[in-house]
Amino acid sequence: MSTHTFVTFGWRTGSIDERAQQLQDVLGLELEPRSSLYLGEYYRWDGTGSAEIILQENFIEDDDGLPTHDRYSEHVVLLFGTDLPEGWAERVAALEGVDPLRTGRP
C-alpha cells in the first residue's frame, strides 16, 4: 500500500498568474496553464511518480464568483500538492503572503 503526502497552501491576495510565476521562480519548475469546466483556469505540474501541483483560483467567474472551496473561502488562490519533492513544501511555506492550510497524510 502506498502512502501519499498532501499539502494545501492559500494566498489571500494576488492573481493566479502572479502566484504561478512566484512558484516557478522559487521551485525552478514550469507550470502548465490549463482550463476546465470544473476548475476554470488553473496551472498544473506533473513530476516523477505521483508528484503534482495544481494551482487554481478559489472561484469560478461563471459561477457568480462563489468560492470553489468554501473551507478556504478567504483565500483567492490555492495550491494543492501531492508527493512534492524533498524541501518543496518548506520553500512554498516560506513565501511571503502564503498560508499553510494542510500538510501531511490524509
Q: Using alpha carbons only, give the angle 27, 71, 32 rounded to the nearest 5 degrees.
A: 30
Residue 41 lies in a domain: yes
Residue 44 lies in a domain: yes
pTM higher than 0.95: no
Q: Using alpha carbons only, give the angle 38, 42, 48 rounded to the nearest 5 degrees.
A: 105
Q: pLDDT averaged over the chain?
A: 88
Residue 94 lies in a domain: yes
Residue 16 lies in a domain: yes
Residues in contact with 1: Cβ distance below 8 Å, sequence separation at least 6, in sequence order:
none
pLDDT tens-digit series, residues 77-99 = 999 999 999 999 999 999 999 99
State CA 13 to chain mean position distance.
14
pLDDT tens-digit series, residues 34-55 = 998 777 889 999 999 999 999 9
pLDDT tens-digit series, residues 4-26 = 899 999 999 999 999 999 999 99
pLDDT for position 1:
47
Residue 65 lies in a domain: yes
Our count of domains for the chain comes to 1
Indicate which CATH number applies to the domain containing 75.
3.30.160
Question: Minimal CA–CA distance to 10: which of 61, 60, 69?
Answer: 69
| Domain span at 84 | 6-104
C-alpha cell recorded at residue 49 = 511518480
Residue 1 lies in a domain: no
